[in-house]
């Protein structure tokens, strides 16, 4: 954890220029939706902003704000406008955390308290957070794999398997970091008001049930880790996407943050060569419409 944090910090300031450039690009899903209905569907498209690493700020077609894996203060690629101003994220309606590692749990407990919003996460990660006083009991929702929650009208979230680990490191009353077992990590199938389905895979290595999850839940957009070392690298991620998951669109994440996630977008694109699955590359701070 220490070496990871150090590594993260050491490359923290390199892409300030990128952080300030939020670009809105329409994708094929939004265009397809628009052509079927009217211009209102463009206005009510899903907006996704990459906060860096596995963090996303999702504005749903119904205007709700979902934040996943918010590593804000410590994140080396956090958009500058949010770094020291949690309120700038807007009023968060739903917080999702995939596992207990610092680059995912991040600032979620503080955001839950600030927004009086429940933090939804793996049951055995939420319990210790409550027991050590990091999260008020009424702001934690425990769920687990294959469990579906309906935290907001028209929005469903199902916990699915992720092949990873989930140690929590949290400061005690004296500020000394203490580790706690964080249960098993999860990924999320997030179904929005218009039926659009996002599979946020969390941190994971390859497992063959990715094919089952894709077959059963039929995600439109898959957010997949490609950084390697802690997760799949570009080759493994491309294999999973081309061979097992076959979604409409894939959005690479969990790379470009520090030397311990060395996989690159270019390597992923090369490994996807020949596939007609749409790759949605993002830069941190960028917003796309779907
Ligand atoms: Zn991670």
Q: Is residue 97 part of a domain?
A: yes
Give the distance (Å) from ligand 1 centre to CA of residue 185: 11
- Ligand 1 centre to CA of 37 (Å) is 38
Among 130, 143, 103, smallest CA distance to 230 is for 103
**Which pLDDT value is given to residue 27?**
53
- Asked whether residue 99 is domain-assigned, the answer is yes
207's CB contacts (< 8 A; 6+ apart) are: 161, 163
Mean pLDDT of the chain: 89
Whether pLDDT at 34 is above 60: no
Q: Which of the four pLDDT bands, split at 50, 70 and 90, describes residue 1?
A: very low
- 36 CA to centre of ligand 1 in angstroms: 38
What CATH number should be reported for the domain holding residue 27? 3.60.15.10
Residue 4 lies in a domain: no
- Confirm if 145 and 168 have CB atoms less than 8 A apart: no
Mean pLDDT (whole number) for 6-30: 41
Distance 236 CA to ligand 1 centre (A): 16
Rg, Å, the chain Cα set: 18
For residue 54, report the distance from its CA to the centre of ligand 1, in Å.
7
Per DSSP, 258 falls in state: S
Residue 29 has a pLDDT of: 54
Token look-up 């946020």 returns: 200
d(CA 92, CA 131): 24
Ligand 1: centre distance to CA 101 (Å): 6
User: Would you say residue 8 lies in a domain?
Assistant: no
Residue range(s) defining the domain that contains residue 142: 15-289
Residue 179: burial class (beta carbons within 10 Å; 0-12, 13-18, 19+) = exposed
pLDDT at 44: 72
Structural domain contains residue 186: yes
On the question of pLDDT at 43 being above 90, the answer is: no
- Reference 78, options 121, 108, 49; nearest CA is 49
Q: How far apart are CA 243 and CA 181, in angstroms?
A: 34
User: Does the residue 190 lie in any domain?
Assistant: yes
Name the band, by pLDDT with cuts 50, 70 and 90, for residue 23.
Answer: very low
Are the C-beta atoms of residues 250 and 278 closer than 8 Å to each other? yes
Tokens of 103: 């680059």
3-class DSSP state of 200: strand
- Between 39-53, 188-202, 224-238, 263-277, the lowest mean confidence (pLDDT) is in 39-53
DSSP 105: H
Distance between CA atoms of residues 222 and 224, nearest Å: 6
Phi and psi torsions of 95, nearest 5°: -115, 130
Distance 31 CA to ligand 1 centre (A): 32
How many A from CA of 27 to the centre of ligand 1?
A: 27
Distance 202 CA to ligand 1 centre (A): 8
pLDDT at 28: 52
How many whole angstroms from 80 Cα to the centroid of ligand 1? 20
Mean pLDDT of 79-101: 97
Q: Tell me the whole-structure pTM to 2 decimals.
A: 0.87
Query: Which of 1-10, 162-171, 177-186, 248-257 has the lowest average pLDDT?
Result: 1-10
Q: Total domain count for the chain?
A: 1
CA of residue 247 to ligand 1 center, whole Å: 23
Question: Which of 28-32, 77-81, 136-140 has the lowest average pLDDT?
Answer: 28-32
User: Within its chain, how far is the Cα of 229 from the centroid?
Assistant: 18
Residue 1 domain-assigned (yes or no): no
Asked if residue 68 belongs to a domain, the reply is yes
**How far does the centroid of ligand 1 lie from the alpha carbon of residue 42, in Å?**
33
CA of 161 from ligand 1 middle (Å) equals: 15
């Amino acid at each position: 954890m220490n070496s990871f944090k150090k590594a993260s910090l050491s490359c923290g300031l390199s892409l300030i220029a990128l952080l300030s450039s939020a670009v809105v690009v329409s994708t094929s899903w939004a265009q397809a939706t628009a052509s079927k209905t009217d211009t209102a569907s463009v206005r009510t498209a899903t907006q996704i902003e990459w906060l860096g690493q596995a963090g996303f700020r999702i504005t749903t077609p119904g205007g709700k704000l979902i934040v996943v894996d918010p590593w804000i203060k410590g994140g080396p690629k956090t958009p500058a406008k949010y770094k020291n101003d949690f309120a700038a994220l807007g009023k968060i309606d739903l917080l999702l955390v995939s596992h207990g590692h610092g680059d995912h749990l991040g600032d979620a407990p503080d955001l839950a308290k600030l927004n009086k919003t429940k933090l939804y996460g793996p049951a055995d990660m939420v319990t210790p957070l409550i027991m050590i006083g990091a999260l008020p009991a009424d702001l934690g929702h425990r769920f687990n794999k294959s469990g579906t929650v309906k935290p907001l009208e028209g929005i469903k979230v199902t916990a699915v398997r992720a092949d990873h680990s989930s140690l929590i490191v949290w400061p005690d009353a004296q500020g000394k970091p203490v580790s706690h077992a964080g249960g098993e990590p999860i990924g999320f199938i997030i179904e929005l008001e218009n039926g659009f389905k996002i599979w946020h895979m969390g941190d994971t290595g390859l497992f063959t049930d990715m094919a089952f999850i894709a077959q059963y839940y039929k995600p439109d957009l898959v957010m997949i880790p490609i950084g390697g070392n802690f997760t799949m690298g570009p080759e493994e991620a491309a294999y999973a996407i081309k061979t097992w998951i076959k979604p409409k669109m894939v959005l690479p994440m969990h790379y470009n943050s520090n030397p311990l996630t060395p996989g690159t977008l270019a390597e992923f694109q090369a490994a996807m060569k020949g596939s007609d699955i749409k790759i949605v590359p993002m830069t941190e701070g960028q917003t796309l419409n779907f």
